Structure 1
Amino acid sequence: MADIFDVIADGTRRDILRLLLDRSSAGEQGTSVSHIVHELGASQPTVSKHLKVLRDAHLVSVREEGQHRYYSLSAAPLDEVDDWLVPFLDEAAEVPAVPSSLPEPAAHAAEVVGRAAASAKHALENALRKLPGR
């Protein structure tokens, strides 16, 4: 299997993943190849080639109905990317400037609480994504 970072490095594949995420969030139970072709303005062979790469990386699942194929996002493999990326985001996160009227210990405490809240938010979102049916 290709490295997940190589798979998502391609802009067309990221566009497909975004489209599938948006459609899934809207309650769709799968997106047809023809819809993906129409939305991206790409050729059917190009979309099919990228969908195969995404299938091989387990980022999408396919449901066949007759001659039609419906694709859905399978975001679990992106946890590897998430786990790799988050430490960089935590370090680079822009913490809003604490008003200078606060004493230094209070300003430091506010910064620590803000970072802890951001980290907790990330952990909760990651856990919720792993729940069945999400």
Structure 2
Amino acid sequence: MADIFDVIADGTRRDILRYLLERANAGDDGTSVSHIVLELGVSQPTVSKHLKVLREAELVSVREEGQHRLYSLVPGPLDEVDDWLMPFVVDEAEVVAAALDSTLPEPAAHAAEVVGRAAASAKHAVASAFRKLPGRP
């Protein structure tokens, strides 16, 4: 399987993932290649090529319905990206706390930094837990 970062490095693949996420959030349980082609304005062979890469990386699933193939987002593999990015989000909380240092007394600035780190960490943990629940796309 290809490295997840290599897979999502391509802009067209990210556009496809974003579109499938929008469709899933709208309650769609599968999107055809023709809908993706129309939405993104790229050729059918290009979309099919990128869907194959996304399928091999297990970022999309496909099911056949008659003569149509319907694609859906499988966000689980993106947890690796989320886990890798999390330290940078926490570091961002440090930047905010440093900016507050100049306007807050020392104990308040420290408290703001601790709360910011805890909030970022909790947000990540909750989001990861929800993604792993059975029945979640």
Q: TM-score, normalised by structure 1?
A: 0.92
May I ask how many residue pairs the two structures share in their alignment? Answer: 134
The Cα of 1:55 is off from its aligned counterpart by 0.4
Matches within 5 A, 1:90-101: 90-93=90-93, 94-95=95-96, 97-98=99-100
Question: Which of 101, 119, 130 is residue 121 of structure 2 equivalent to?
Answer: 119
Unmatched runs of 5 consecutive residues or more in structure 2? none
The Cα of 1:43 is off from its aligned counterpart by 0.5
Using the aligned pairs only, state the percent identity. Answer: 79
SS in 2 for 1:69: strand
Runs of 4+ in 1 over 4 A off after TM superposition: 99-102
Question: Which of 106, 109, 115 is residue 107 of structure 1 equivalent to?
Answer: 109
SS in 1 for 2:118: helix
Query: What residue number does 1:40 align with?
Result: 40
Report the Cα distance in structure 1 between the residues aligned to 2:113 and 2:91, rounded to whole angstroms.
12
Q: Name the structure where helix makes up a greater proportion of residues.
A: 2
Report the Cα distance in structure 2 between the residues aligned to 1:106 and 1:69, rounded to whole angstroms.
56
The one-letter code matched in structure 2 to 1:56 is: E
The Cα of 1:110 is off from its aligned counterpart by 1.9
Unmatched runs of 5 consecutive residues or more in structure 1? none
Partner deviation per Cα, 1:54-86 (whole Å, 9 max, x = no partner): 000000000101210100000111111111111
The one-letter code matched in structure 2 to 1:74 is: V
Name the stretch that deviates more: 16-25 or 85-94. Answer: 85-94
RMSD, aligned CA: 1.6
